[in-house]
Amino acid sequence: MTHATGTKYLKNGMLPHMWCSGCGIGILMGAMVRAFEELEYTNHETVVVTGIGCTGKLDDYLTTNALHVTHGRALPHATGVKAFNPRLKVVVIMGDGDSVTIGGNHLIHAARRNIDVTAIILNNFNYGMTGGQASGTTPEECITSTTSFGNPEREIDICALAEVAGANYVARQTPYHGWELKENIKEALNKKGFSLVEVVSPCPTHFGKNNEMLEAREMLLWLQEKSLPVEKYRKLGVGEKKDYFAVGTLVDRNAPDFNTRYEEIRKRALEL
């Protein structure tokens, strides 16, 4: 059996990419295009929507349809695309700034609306492109270029937020788990309704440097050490849980997606 490389979705002449070595986004992009290939996605039926930041550059490397938009607004743009043409496969790539900081309200409502798009979120705990400032996922006490003495605020849990807001599918992985990440992305793409995959990732250039993890390798090992498959994680006691985070499929349910519900309502409107 030949393994999917996903290279046919990568634009000739645009590589090498602009991201820092050690960043998890290359692994994210690799997992995504391999998932595309294994699911036999075509360029013309696929639309990748991106926001602003390091993740916002991802569309530059793709041969699929793409829509690169303003900071935090990728989800509502994607909602318009998908709502009008439900046959399209719509994938939204965001960072922690796009998804749960400036654009947090859109994440809540995309999940509530259960629009059939897949959000893949690279969470590296800070704004990498603009110099490592704090974001909504920067853990309490961490050092960033705008929390020099420690972050006084608490971090938001992206997956928990998506779950309570109504997402049909939620998974978390890290770049350490490349194969699992691809599998989770495939599940998310196959899921009808709103699906989300969080990719907890190193930012060695800023976040790691500021928080006593100088090397990308150190950060990856830290991610490996701190992540537990969700089945194991759930068996931990409350006290132990704070030292780990769960990876794998966290939520998997089948509420009808927006377009399905809309067609049901449309039928009612036409019968009146």
Partner 1 sequence: MGREIKLMQGNQAISEAAIYAGARFYAGYPITPSSEIAEICSRVLPTIGGIFLQMEDEIASIAAVVGASLAGAKAFTATSGPGFSLMQENLGLAVMGEVPCVIVNVQRAGPSTGLATKPSQSDIMQLRWGRHGDQTVIALCPASVRECFELTVKAFNFAEKFRVPVILAPDEIVGHMRESFEVPRAGELEIIDRKKPSCPPDQYLPFEAEVDGIAPLAAYGGDHVFHITSSMHGPNGYANNNPQNASWRVEQLHRKIDLHRDEICLTKTFDTEDMDVLMVTIGATTRSGRAAALEARKRGVKVGVLQLLTLWPFPEKEVAALARDVDTVVVPEMNYSGQIAGEVQRVVGTEKEILRVNRYNGTIITPRDILESILESRSGQSVRAGG
Establish if 54 lies at the interface with partner 1 (CB under 8 A): no
Binder of partner 1 out of 34, 77, 172, 186 (CB under 8 A): 77
How large is the C-alpha radius of gyration of the chain? 18
CB of 221 to partner 1, least distance (A): 34
Establish if 222 lies at the interface with partner 1 (CB under 8 A): no
CB of 199 to partner 1, least distance (A): 23
Establish if 149 lies at the interface with partner 1 (CB under 8 A): no
CA atoms within 13 A on the CB side of 7: 6
Contact by Cβ (8 Å): 96, 121: yes
Cα distances (angstroms) measured from residue 247 to each of 6, 40, 176, 195, 216: 24, 26, 11, 15, 20
Q: Which H or E run includes 95?
A: strand 89-95
Coil/strand/helix, residue 55: helix
Establish if 164 lies at the interface with partner 1 (CB under 8 A): no
Residues 233-272 that bind partner 1 (CB under 8 A): 262, 265-266, 269-270
d(CA 271, CA 121): 41
Binder of partner 1 out of 32, 49, 158, 171 (CB under 8 A): 49
Binder of partner 1 out of 12, 21, 40, 44 (CB under 8 A): 44
Cα distances (angstroms) measured from residue 21 to each of 16, 69, 81, 193, 232: 11, 25, 33, 34, 31
* Interaction mask 80-109, partner 1, x per CB under 8 A: xxxxxx-xx----------------xx-xx
Binder of partner 1 out of 17, 43, 142, 222 (CB under 8 A): 43
Binder of partner 1 out of 76, 157, 209, 236 (CB under 8 A): 76
Contact by Cβ (8 Å): 130, 143: no
Tokens of 65: 């349809």
Residues binding partner 1 (CB under 8 A): 11, 14, 43-45, 47, 49, 57, 59-60, 63-70, 73, 75-85, 87-88, 105-106, 108-109, 262, 265-266, 269-270
